[in-house]
Structure 1
Amino acid sequence: MILSHERVGDFVILRVGESRVDATNSSELQEHVSSLVSKGGRSFVLDLSAVLFMDSCGLAGLIPITNCMPKDGRLLIAGLHPKVEQIFKLTKLNTIFNIYPSVGEALKS
């Protein structure tokens, strides 16, 4: 999985550079976030603007990420493609995650 990250203020922006998040790569995303948490990361913006498709395994892979977060940590999701956003709404994950139209909007929160 193509992942990059950068620190902006108190946040680590984690960019997913893949068009798909599914059973083949969702565990890599979990491992990457876990590694960043172990290095002191507390607040994250997950930039999914490049992701055009996310299946149930990709969605389910986001839940363990929240479990590895520190108690005072935050995971914000940004840049959902309309089809991916629709899946978040259908599965009600939009009620669990704070979703923003862009990384910039997430950082303002």
Structure 2
Amino acid sequence: MDMSSRTQGELQIVTINAQRIDAAVAIQFKDGMRAETEGPARRVILDLSQVDFIDSSGLGAIVAAMKQLGPGRKLDLAGLTTTVESVFRLTRMDTVFALFPTLDAALMAQAS
């Protein structure tokens, strides 16, 4: 799973550089997220702007990534395409994660 990250103080941005998070890459995604988020950042923003498909395995992998952050750390999602956002809303996962239309919107929420 191709992902990259950068840290700004207590904020970390993880960008997924792939079009799909599905059963074929769910384990790689979880392992990659574990490696990328080992640092102390209290808030992690997952930039999904390049992802245009997610299935239940991908959804489960994102939930697992949130849980592995542990207490006191937060995972927010940014840049969801219409298709990906609809999966989160249909499964009521929009009540678990803060969803932001763009990375900039997520960053502005941090500032306020």
Query: Partner residue of 1:47?
Result: 47
Work out the CA distance in 2 between the residues paired with 1:51 and 1:29.
13
Query: Partner residue of 1:77?
Result: 77
Please tell me the root mean square deviation across aligned C-alpha atoms, in Å: 1.3
Work out the CA distance in 2 between the residues paired with 1:79 and 1:66.
17
Work out the CA distance in 2 between the residues paired with 1:71 and 1:34.
15
Task: Tell me how far 1:74 sits from its aligned partner.
Answer: 0.9
Residues 5 and 36 of structure 2 are in contact (CA less than 8 Å); yes or no, is this contact kept in structure 1?
no
User: 1:22-42 CA distances to partner (integer Å, 9 max, x unpaired)?
Assistant: 011122222222223333333
Runs of 4+ off more than 6 Å: none
Work out the CA distance in 1 between the residues paired with 2:95 and 2:14.
21
Work out the CA distance in 1 between the residues paired with 2:19 and 2:45.
18
Contiguous gaps of at least 5 residues in structure 1: none
User: 1:36-89 CA distances to partner (integer Å, 9 max, x unpaired)?
Assistant: 333333320000000011011111111111211131111010000001111111
1:1-109 mapped onto 2 (5 Å cutoff): 1-109=1-109
Residues 37 and 68 of structure 1 are in contact (CA less than 8 Å); yes or no, is this contact kept in structure 2?
no
Work out the CA distance in 2 between the residues paired with 1:11 and 1:29.
20
The aligned length equals 109
Matched letter for residue 100 of structure 1: F
Normalised to the residue count of structure 2, the TM-score between the two structures is 0.89
